[in-house]
Amino acid sequence: MTTPSQDAGPPLLQLRDLHVAYGGIKAVRGANLTVREGELVCLIGTNGAGKSTTLRAICGQVPVAGGEVTYAGRSIAGKRPFELVREHLVMVPEGRGIFGQLSIEENLVVGAYTRKDKVQIGRDIERVFSLFPRLAERRGQVAGTLSGGEQQMLAMGRAMLSKPRLLLLDEPSMGLAPLMVEKVFELVRTIASEGVTILLIEQNARLALEVSQRGYVMESGAITLEGPAAQLLHDPKVRAAYLGEAAA
């Protein structure tokens, strides 16, 4: 049984018996998961475990074959991704998905496409630049010329311009150098400290559990373990399977 964080609010996202299939292949098998308002929750597992498919099902990018996805107390089954962005449910996808031919600043403006408050958008862009000084130095630079880590920062900054209530991060450390991974996870902590609820999908189990309050482990499309992140970090099975340590 998962113990919610003491300061966490009511459930913001809930998956109940979620099933997702690609043709005859069952990618997600009866997943149950809860993220409460104000929490940072991680979902860890090996490549191909079904983590990214779970996120895509939440965001309406792949159809749900069975079960229920609720956000802010309402079913979001069948809603398209841009509709969910308007409801402040935002995903930073694996691979970042930036607009390579646009400048850094233009990418951020695109992130605010659902908003009309131009003055506040300008302030929020400057706030993003304060969080990402490496981007601020080159705001007019074409985004496609950035390093992988800088593109990840830009993708996270663009998501922040959508004013997310729930932010879904899909493998933010993938392909990054160790120093850049540390920087990205510092930013995840900062975003969470500002009150944004986060569901983090990550193969780097140690880092994911270290920044999160609670965690879930997914294997072959099913949730097999859940609990406080500190507890999972010291679980012998997790340590053996995901942290490269021998089981006790």
Q: Identify the structural domains of the chain with CATH numbers, from first to last.
A: 11-95+166-242 (3.40.50.300)
Average pLDDT taken over every residue of the chain: 91
- Residue 222 has a CB neighbour count (10 Å cut-off) of 16
**Is this prediction's pTM over 0.85?**
yes
For residue 188, with 0-12 CB atoms within 10 Å meaning exposed, 13-18 middle and 19 or more buried, which class applies? buried
What token pair was written down for 38?
């104000």
Confidence at residue 222, expressed as pLDDT on a 0 to 100 scale: 96
Mean pLDDT, residues 57-84 taken together: 93
Helix axes 148-160, 178-193, angle to 10 degrees: 10
Contact 92, 157 (CB under 8 A): no
Residue 247 has pLDDT above 60, yes or no: no
Q: Tell me the per-residue pLDDT of 55-66, one tens digit each, with 9 for 90 and over.
A: 999 999 999 999
Cα–chain center distance at 107: 19
Confidence at residue 43, expressed as pLDDT on a 0 to 100 scale: 97
Question: HSE on the CB side for 50, CA within 13 Å?
Answer: 25
- Residue 238 has a CB neighbour count (10 Å cut-off) of 22
For the chain, list the strands marked E by DSSP. Answer: 11-22, 25-36, 40-44, 66-71, 74-75, 89-92, 166-170, 197-202, 214-219, 222-228
Contact 42, 212 (CB under 8 A): yes
Confidence at residue 139, expressed as pLDDT on a 0 to 100 scale: 94
Confidence at residue 96, expressed as pLDDT on a 0 to 100 scale: 75
Q: Which residues contact 114 (CB under 8 A, 6 or more apart)?
A: 82, 85, 86, 162
- pLDDT band at 197, cuts 50/70/90? very high
Q: What angle do CA 112, 114, 115 make, to 5 degrees?
A: 70
- Residue 59 has a CB neighbour count (10 Å cut-off) of 21
Q: Tell me the per-residue pLDDT of 205-239, one tens digit each, with 9 for 90 and over.
A: 999 999 999 999 999 999 999 999 999 999 999 99
What token pair was written down for 188?
């995840």
Residue 3 has pLDDT above 60, yes or no: no
Confidence at residue 1, expressed as pLDDT on a 0 to 100 scale: 41
Confidence at residue 95, expressed as pLDDT on a 0 to 100 scale: 77
Confidence at residue 5, expressed as pLDDT on a 0 to 100 scale: 55
Q: Tell me the per-residue pLDDT of 86-131, one tens digit each, with 9 for 90 and over.
A: 999 999 988 778 999 999 999 999 999 999 999 999 999 999 999 8
Q: What angle do CA 173, 190, 107 make, to 5 degrees?
A: 65
Confidence at residue 6, expressed as pLDDT on a 0 to 100 scale: 52
Q: Tell me the per-residue pLDDT of 234-245, one tens digit each, with 9 for 90 and over.
A: 999 999 988 876
